[in-house]
Amino acid sequence: MKTPPSFAIEHDVATVCPLDCPDSCSLDVTVQDGRVAAIDGSSLNPVTGGYICAKVRRFPERLYGPDRLLYPAVRKGPKGLASFERVSWGEALSLVAERMLKTRRQWGGESILPYSYGGSNGLLTQDTSDATLFRRLGASRLARTVCAAATGAANMAMYGKMPSITYQDFPEARLIVLWGVNPSASGIHLVPYIREAQRRGAVLIVVDPRTTPLARQADIHLAVRPGTDLPVALSLHRFLFEEGHADEVFLKEHARGAEELREKARGWTFERAAAEADVPVDALRRVAELYATTRPALIRCGWGQERNRNGGNASLAILALPAVAGKFGERGGGYTMSNTASWGITNTWAKSAEPRTRIVNMNQLGRALLEYTDPRINMLFVYNSNPAATTPDQGRVLRGLERDDLFTVVFEQVMTDTARYADVLLPNTTFLEGYDLVRAYGPWALQLARPVIEPVGESRSNAEVFGELIDLAGMREEMDPRGELEEMLDVIARLPDDVADGVRATGAASVPFDGRPIQFRDVWPRTPDRKVHLYPEALAQDAPAGLYGYQPDPATSDFPLALISPASEKTISSTLAELSRPEVRLLIHPDDAAVRGVNDGDEVRVFNALGEVRCKAGVGAWIRRGTVSMPKGIWRKHTANGFTGTSLVPDTLTDLGGGACFNDARVQVERAL
Ligand code: SF4
């Protein structure tokens, strides 16, 4: 067992939140008698200083709540019933290691599938000793594409993931477009900067099917039909190119592919795009005029527009707007996307080279478990993730997890929907019980997370558990770090010198350009020629309808409603969903409810060919007609029949990047009898 550091018993400990949220708040954690008593914001990160979200304030309920996993266990009843028997760590890890080696011997390494995502989003909890173990085993590789795959592919191809405009510069903008993002639920520290910009007279435009809090205060709200962001963005490009607003000087000097984009946009008149998106033509034209004529202008491109069949091309078209309109080169002008890549550091710290083994797209887990052969997946190792709740086509995922011949290990903090299916259950520490390095993807920041308390129960860190499995599998090599502290020091040693020095000295890396780079003045595209690639042909082969090609709405007369599942302020993906929350409701527009005889509070059936969800209806005009909404990240206990919105989501993939098409679910709604 790890010996806790001496400062673990002090009353206030500085650390940082690593959860999958753009902000990465610096934290002050109050410890009393070895237990976390309160969590609040600290000023170490000036962007998030002083306050945190309500969900992380409730983190002590996760640490000490009834769902916390306290010791290793093995299954003693049918899969899915969470029936377990306590065992020692030695027994549990020996069982897992023996099973790994046996599975590899019998069916080959690719019959083992590691499954993980950003449960704890730090640099230490993923792609360190875990990756070393699975690489040495020759396991199948997982394409981690449930989020940010399409936007990541677009941003990488077009700009090489150039650093973004950061929160502090939003007040400098005279026009802000929030496209597919709701900072009031995820990324709350951006909101005051937007309000400050509005106070200074900035125009706010929101593109979102829902009337979010910021959409209510926007000058123009385009409540687009899900999946139609691409035609909307292309109509803006057509206007810029054809009405003399394209910055031809900038394009000639700094961009490639402008002519191809101009051609692709040519057919998208305001009338055609507005009809496709079901928004007023005049509003769309007004957005184009304002964007063309106002500066500084910035676009905060979110993730809502990527979760459909056109998501990659939509993200390309949105990200191309500041280049075509010539919005770069001044403070408050340009775009904001993820800042993950701004440090220019690697995403993997594994000690072994990546083998050329099979790649399994995480969005198709159910299909992989049930249908993949050569070899069949016979061992699944889930950590930092809860696929039974979060992965598309939930019914198929659950049928896969129920397979008698599948050996499933779940390494988790609490009893999630996935943990209930484990053959071996391993208790994991939270970010308050260990070290990590946390890289923000909203503000430009990188901080050290410290252990605040001793591990609760017998929980262990990722570094400890994967390190022990490497030992038990006989795969340790001389230079491998041993334990969490060594692993952290190893990662820090491999950071760029200036970043490492800052972390060692103060716990936070000093940020270039005071954290406020100006695009095309301080930072440039990280493409090989430092230009914007408006028509990145390397992506074209992946896109079913080509670059900027639009795929029509998948609605049918049987299933006419678009179901979306946006982030809520209650969970971070599905993390913290074990905590009590108000009843989950399907949001539906009054007109859609009326024609179905549905009243507010009625129990409804939401269904399509993939499955059915039963829950209460919430009737209100905060969602557009023809679209219904259920929160992202809910667990099976939150609905009347034990299925969540993911049971209605096809496991089809985005046009670029292999992302999840959550917003391509088309459903019917009726009153439950
Ligand atoms: S989830 Fe986001 S807002 Fe909440 S504490 Fe963590 S970083 Fe801050």
Report pLDDT digits (tens) over 10-54. Answer: 578 999 999 999 999 999 999 999 999 999 999 888 888 789 999
CA 92 – CA 460 distance, rounded (Å): 13
CA 174 – CA 190 distance, rounded (Å): 16
Give me the percent of the chain exceeding a pLDDT of 90.
91
Alpha helices in 120-182 (DSSP H): 129-137, 149-159
Over residues 103-132, mean pLDDT: 93
For ligand 1, whether the C-beta of 24 sits within 6 Å is yes
**390 close to 361: Cβ distance less than 8 angstroms:** no
> For position 341, what pLDDT does the model report?
85
Measured from the Cβ of residue 554, the count of other Cβ atoms closer than 10 Å reads: 16
Over residues 610-639, mean pLDDT: 97
pLDDT beyond 80 at 346: no
Over residues 398-413, mean pLDDT: 98
> For position 240, what pLDDT does the model report?
98
Predicted structure pTM score: 0.96
Alpha helices in 220-280 (DSSP H): 229-242, 248-254, 258-265, 270-277
The 3-class SS string of 181-222 reads CCCCCCCHHHHHHHHHHHHCCCEEEEECCECCHHHHCCCEEE
For ligand 1, whether the C-beta of 53 sits within 6 Å is yes
Over residues 525-540, mean pLDDT: 95
> For position 1, what pLDDT does the model report?
44
CA 261 to mean position of chain CA atoms = 28
> For position 10, what pLDDT does the model report?
53
Q: What pLDDT digit, counting tens, does each position of 78-87 carry?
A: 999 999 999 9
> Which residue has a Cα nearest atom 8 of ligand 1?
25
In the reported structure, the alpha carbon of residue 392 is separated from the centroid of ligand 1 by a whole-number distance in angstroms of 25
3-state secondary structure of 601: coil
> For position 474, what pLDDT does the model report?
98
- In the numeric block, which tokens belong to residue 422? 């484990």
For ligand 1, whether the C-beta of 124 sits within 6 Å is no
Length of the chain: 673
CA 255 – CA 657 distance, rounded (Å): 22
Give me the percent of the chain exceeding a pLDDT of 70.
99
pLDDT beyond 90 at 141: yes
In the reported structure, the alpha carbon of residue 570 is separated from the centroid of ligand 1 by a whole-number distance in angstroms of 11
CA 552 – CA 554 distance, rounded (Å): 6
> For position 342, what pLDDT does the model report?
86
pLDDT band at 5 (very low <50, low <70, confident <90, very high): low
CA 114 – CA 106 distance, rounded (Å): 18
DSSP H or E segment with residue 412: strand 407-412
Radius of gyration of the chain (CA): 24
> For position 561, what pLDDT does the model report?
98
CA 472 – CA 465 distance, rounded (Å): 10
**241 close to 210: Cβ distance less than 8 angstroms:** no
Q: What pLDDT digit, counting tens, does each position of 466-515 carry?
A: 999 999 999 999 999 999 999 999 999 999 999 999 999 999 998 899 99
> Which residue has a Cα nearest atom 1 of ligand 1?
21
Over residues 316-325, mean pLDDT: 98
Question: How far is the CA of 71 from the CAs of 74, 116, 431, in angstroms?
Answer: 10, 21, 18
Q: Which of 15, 16, 19 best tests ligand 1's pocket when mutated (most atoms within 8 Å of CB)?
A: 19
pLDDT beyond 80 at 628: yes
CA 82 – CA 322 distance, rounded (Å): 51
> For position 349, what pLDDT does the model report?
87
> For position 325, what pLDDT does the model report?
98
Q: What pLDDT digit, counting tens, does each position of 543-572 carry?
A: 999 999 999 999 999 999 999 999 999 998
3-state secondary structure of 608: coil
**622 close to 611: Cβ distance less than 8 angstroms:** no
Q: What is the mean pLDDT of the chain?
A: 95
CA 30 – CA 335 distance, rounded (Å): 38
> For position 339, what pLDDT does the model report?
86
CA 94 – CA 104 distance, rounded (Å): 15
> For position 43, what pLDDT does the model report?
87
pLDDT beyond 90 at 357: yes
> For position 541, what pLDDT does the model report?
85
For ligand 1, whether the C-beta of 230 sits within 6 Å is no
In the reported structure, the alpha carbon of residue 261 is separated from the centroid of ligand 1 by a whole-number distance in angstroms of 38
Q: What pLDDT digit, counting tens, does each position of 203-245 carry?
A: 999 999 999 999 999 999 999 999 999 999 999 999 999 999 9
For ligand 1, whether the C-beta of 17 sits within 6 Å is yes
Q: What pLDDT digit, counting tens, does each position of 112-125 carry?
A: 999 999 877 789 99
For ligand 1, whether the C-beta of 185 sits within 6 Å is no
Going along 414-475, which residue ranges are E strands? Answer: 424-427, 436-439, 446-449
> For position 8, what pLDDT does the model report?
47
Q: Which of 53, 452, 574 best tests ligand 1's pocket when mutated (most atoms within 8 Å of CB)?
A: 53
For ligand 1, whether the C-beta of 28 sits within 6 Å is no
> Which residue has a Cα nearest atom 7 of ligand 1?
24
> Which residue has a Cα nearest atom 2 of ligand 1?
21
For ligand 1, whether the C-beta of 19 sits within 6 Å is yes
pLDDT beyond 60 at 452: yes
What type of residue sits at position 598?
Answer: V
For ligand 1, whether the C-beta of 324 sits within 6 Å is no
In the reported structure, the alpha carbon of residue 118 is separated from the centroid of ligand 1 by a whole-number distance in angstroms of 14
Q: Which has the minimum average pLDDT: 1-15, 91-105, 377-391, 414-428?
A: 1-15
In the reported structure, the alpha carbon of residue 54 is separated from the centroid of ligand 1 by a whole-number distance in angstroms of 9
Over residues 640-663, mean pLDDT: 98
CA 454 – CA 461 distance, rounded (Å): 11
- In the numeric block, which tokens belong to residue 26? 């610096």
- In the numeric block, which tokens belong to residue 157? 């191809």
Q: Using CB atoms within 10 Å of the CB of residue 505, give its burial: 0 to 12 exposed, 13 to 18 middle, 19+ buried.
A: exposed
Ligand 1: atom nearest CA of 21 is 2
pLDDT beyond 70 at 7: no
pLDDT beyond 90 at 411: yes
For ligand 1, whether the C-beta of 572 sits within 6 Å is yes
